[in-house]
Amino acid sequence: MDSGYYAIPSLVEMGACSGCSACMLHSASDVMCYIWICLLILFLHVQLAHGLHRGSLSAPELCETCLKRFNKTRELNAFITMLPESALQSAEAAQQRILNGIS
């Protein structure tokens, strides 16, 4: 991905999490973890959308990066079914729409 993206610090580094395992909500004091996670997801979404629209990132490139990350963390069982071929086809179609100026 584009080296111009901001590095997102961990929740522990930002002081938003007390260091609980996997940043799960264990107590009322860790509700801040959830709030920070939501804000970081929003921040990441905006950064990725900006990269896609300015052309420094392609939808297939983003999809491949996500699929690689999934393969590295497969043991977490975060997904029931993965359809990498379908995801890449959808990313290619999305990239064509972006290139054609259709959102």
In the predicted model, is pLDDT for residue 39 greater than 60? yes
Full-prediction pTM beyond 0.85? Answer: no
pLDDT digits (tens, 9 = 90+) for 56-98: 999 999 999 989 988 888 888 887 888 999 999 999 999 999 9
pLDDT of residue 32: 65
Arithmetic mean of pLDDT, 10-23 = 50
Give me 10's structure tokens. Answer: 């961990």
**Which tops the pLDDT comparison, 33 or 48?**
48
Q: How far apart are CA 56 and CA 48, in angstroms?
A: 10
Within 13 A of 96's CA, how many CA atoms are on the CB side? 6
